[in-house]
């Protein structure tokens, strides 16, 4: 697989079964059996309610728009998220309930199958004119604000680079930019 650029206009939005919001799937990698290896998505949360449980999955959630939410996570307690761009990691096995602070929010979600890889979600800020090389463990770069250039292509807010994982990716920022950086360290027994 080569690097792929995904445009925000191409993502598909799906309503939740419980009616509490929608999910916009950015990327999903599945194994030969169809099980999720890792998934990156955006959720628009419109109402309080429970999160779906995902046994065997590690999750990261990061608010990108809105006034905040309070998560009650069975193995972590209550976590109040009011600042954008601050990732929270938790187990998909945990029973999780969400209460909105003051109206709908939008969040970025990463899910990684525990038996496939060790994942991470971080936010990186680039100043105008800065060039940065991301190593081959970086699976995706998602533009939160600003823009980046990669080999002549411009990625704007909401666009995503999915990395082939075969070499480092070098990007430059024409203006101040914030990126969600997704890394995956694939477990050797999971490589096919």
Model pLDDT, residue 3: 84
Domain boundaries, the chain: 11-113, 117-187
Q: Does domain 117-187 have CATH number 3.40.50.280?
A: no
Note the pLDDT tens digit of each residue in 76-103.
999 999 999 999 999 999 999 999 999 9
Q: 11-113 belongs to which CATH class?
A: mainly beta
pLDDT in tens, 113-135: 999 999 999 999 999 999 999 98
Counted residue by residue, the chain has a size of 192
**Alpha-carbon distances, residue 146 vs 39, 80, 149, 158, 177 (angstroms):** 23, 27, 11, 10, 4
pLDDT at site 192: 47
Tell me whether domains 11-113 and 117-187 share a fold: yes
> Is residue 165 pLDDT above 90, yes or no?
no
Q: What is the mean pLDDT of the chain?
A: 91
Residue 1: is its pLDDT beyond 60?
Answer: no
């Amino acid at each position: 697989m080569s690097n792929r650029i995904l445009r925000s206009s191409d993502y598909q939005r799906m309503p939740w079964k419980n009616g509490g919001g929608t999910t916009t799937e950015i990327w999903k990698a599945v194994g030969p059996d169809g099980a999720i290896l890792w998934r990156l998505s955006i959720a628009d949360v419109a109402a309080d309610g429970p999160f779906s449980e995902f046994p065997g999955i590690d999750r990261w959630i990061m608010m990108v728009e809105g006034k905040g939410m309070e998560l009650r996570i069975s193995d972590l307690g209550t976590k109040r998220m009011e600042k954008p761009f601050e990732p929270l990691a938790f187990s998909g096995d945990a029973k999780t309930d969400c209460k909105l602070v003051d109206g709908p929010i939008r969040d970025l979600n990463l899910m990684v199958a525990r038996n496939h890889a060790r994942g991470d979600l971080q936010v990186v800020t680039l100043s105008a004119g800065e060039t940065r090389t991301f190593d081959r463990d970086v699976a995706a770069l998602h533009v939160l604000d600003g823009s980046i250039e990669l080999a002549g292509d411009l990625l704007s807010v909401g666009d995503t680079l999915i990395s082939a994982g075969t070499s480092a990716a070098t990007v430059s920022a024409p203006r101040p930019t914030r990126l969600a950086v997704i890394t995956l360290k694939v477990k050797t027994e999971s490589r096919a």
